[in-house]
Amino acid sequence: MGVQTFRRLMGFLRPYRSGVIVSFVLAAAAMGMGVLIPYIVGRTVDDIRNGGTNLTPLALVIVGAALGRLCFSVVRRLMAGRVSLAVDVDLRNRMYAHLQSLELGFFDSQQTGQLMSRATVDLQSVRFFLGYGLIFMLQSVTTILIAAGVMIAVNPGLALLALAPMPWAVWVSFRYGRRNRPAAQEVQQRIAELTAEAEENVSGVRVVKAFAQEERQLRRFNHAVARVFDQSMVSTRLRAFYNPFIGFLPQLGLAAILLVGGRQAIEGTITLGEFVAFYGYVVMLTSPMRTLGVSLGMAQRAVASGARVFEILDRPPRLTAPPGAPALPAGRGRVELRGVSFTPEGATTPVLRDVNLEVETGRTIALVGGTGSGKTMLVSLIGRLYDVDEGAVLIDGADVRGVDVASLRREVALVSDDAFLFSATLRENIAYARSEASDEEVHRAARRAGVEEFARALPEGYETMVGERGLTLSGGQRQRVAVARGLLAEPRVLILDDATSSVDATTESEIKAGLREVMEGRTTFVIAHRLSTIALADEIAVLSDGRIAAQGTHEELLGSSEQYREFVQRGLPDQVFLTRESEEREVAGL
């Protein structure tokens, strides 16, 4: 698994292989300049021993080699940084695009914090290794190979003695990698859990403060932090032992050079310059060996993070249109459900069972029923937010599974009771479904939804930023903005899922006047618990246990459906239910 993940991570470098190759060549050149310096120092020592006085050329060569190493290193870092950032952009774009392609059911079973951790912390680990760690690793190996080559060329016997610890260092590095990989994976998982905990606490801060549960949430967060700490210590203990040990092994070669090489220098078998050069090379090997250990740690973290990223990227979208699927055919919004059954992902009990429903063009149908009866899921299937398990959903005679998804959702507007707003201006939130809409169209939709009144009182009117999730607005104001957003979409099918639950009766009456105009000639589904809202409907369908238990007008259902009679008595016991005709007469003052 680790090798396969590593190979896949390398695939992200393919578009930038020229930059990687240049970075590697520059790193090799810089290391070549570095390897040259001990050799020149050794030559200088021998010249001094032999009474040479013209040391200027050798000093200039050393300065030139140092400057060359400096220039190559600077350019290499710039190239590596560019590759790292480019890979980061590609990874983030690919992750976000893939998340956008996944169906709603996937997000129903995922924690937001977990997804955010994979899109930030895990991608950062991958990016650091591909942009920097890989080059450091190659640079370390190159330095070792070049230094070893020069040492063997100068004195093979002494070189083999100095390099004897290297195989052990490679073995220790390999063992470190094998032991640290699972520890690194567990650390990434714990960090993801911590991110999820933090995201949940921030999102639910109003509830936390409303019930004075700050201490409780702090304990939960401290527990998550402690889990990260405990698991990180496992990885830290491995790193604390193996990295210094990898750096220790070259010191054995250094001791051997001092012992054997020093004796040979005393006996005259080698020159003092050769001894000094060998000493410099062995000292030079210490840093790349230590860097190699660090780079291996980065590689393990990258592999662990990469495995978590690929878990998301390998999850195929389960709600797709056939290749070359046509747009939703022209029509006026006739909706039909044929034998529809649906069970949410991870559930064992169907939410909808063999539902058959026909809604003719321009008709308005209200869906009523108790909690869990399947009302919201039924309307979610119309815009294909989920796919049916059995049966079919048709709009204007076309199965929604056989048409282009974007064209379908442009013709189905959903206004739910969860009035989510983006951190943008009021106008941008209203025009979200139609960014090209004119100011006149935006204002007309706002008037119909009752937004105009409070919009004028905002500091910058429609250009006022509403804040994250629209929290600078009241619940009723957010819901009115959501209604305006749905109205501006001008869809064939309009779905109002408890869309006026957060507004008062007076505001609801004003919104209903605008809705009545918009709903004229447009197929509309209304889910509501207020009978006054249900009065907008031409007919009513009563859902129970995932099935349509009864269907008809208000008067028909009062006579034929005990469930509906209970709903009316429970929902509005002390008021008179208004049919559309009686309500219109009341508004007209008759």
Note the pLDDT of residue 381: 93
Q: Compute the radius of gyration of the chain from its Cα atoms.
A: 35
> Distance (Å, rounded) from C-alpha 468 to C-alpha 202?
12
Q: Which residues contact 500 (CB under 8 A, 6 or more apart)?
A: 479, 483, 507, 508, 511, 512, 528, 530, 533
Where in the chain do CATH 3.40.50.300 domains reside?
A: 333-411+492-590, 418-490
Domain covering 418-490 in this structure, CATH number: 3.40.50.300
Per residue in 155-196, pLDDT (tens digit) is 888 888 888 887 887 788 777 777 777 787 788 788 888 888
Note the pLDDT of residue 587: 39
> Distance (Å, rounded) from C-alpha 583 to C-alpha 417?
24
Note the pLDDT of residue 391: 93
pLDDT band at 571 (very low <50, low <70, confident <90, very high): low
Cross-strand pairs, 552: 540
Cross-strand pairs, 523: 493
Helices then strands, counting H and E runs in the chain, come out as 24, 10
Neighbours of 160 (CB within 10 A): 12
Per residue in 408-438, pLDDT (tens digit) is 988 998 888 777 888 888 899 899 888 888 9
- Class of the domain covering 2-313: mainly alpha
Residue (of 200, 190, 175, 187) closest to 234 by Cα position: 187
Residue 258 per-residue DSSP state: I
Q: Label residue 21 exposed, middle or buried (CB < 10 Å: 0-12, 13-18, 19+).
A: exposed
Q: What's the rounded mean pLDDT across residues 186-212?
A: 79
Per residue in 474-527, pLDDT (tens digit) is 777 888 888 888 888 888 898 888 766 666 666 666 666 667 777 777 898 988
Domain covering 333-411+492-590 in this structure, CATH number: 3.40.50.300
- The 3-class SS string of 410-447 reads HCEEEECCCCCCCCCEHHHHHCCCCCCCCHHHHHHHHH
Note the pLDDT of residue 337: 94
User: What's the token pair of residue 526?
Assistant: 């209304």
Determine the residue type at 328.
Answer: L
Where in the chain do CATH 1.20.1560.10 domains reside?
A: 2-313
> Distance (Å, rounded) from C-alpha 165 to C-alpha 252?
7
Q: Which residue has the higher pLDDT, 406 or 135?
A: 406
Determine the residue type at 185.
Answer: Q
> Distance (Å, rounded) from C-alpha 62 to C-alpha 280?
14
Residue (of 389, 435, 391) closest to 410 by Cα position: 435
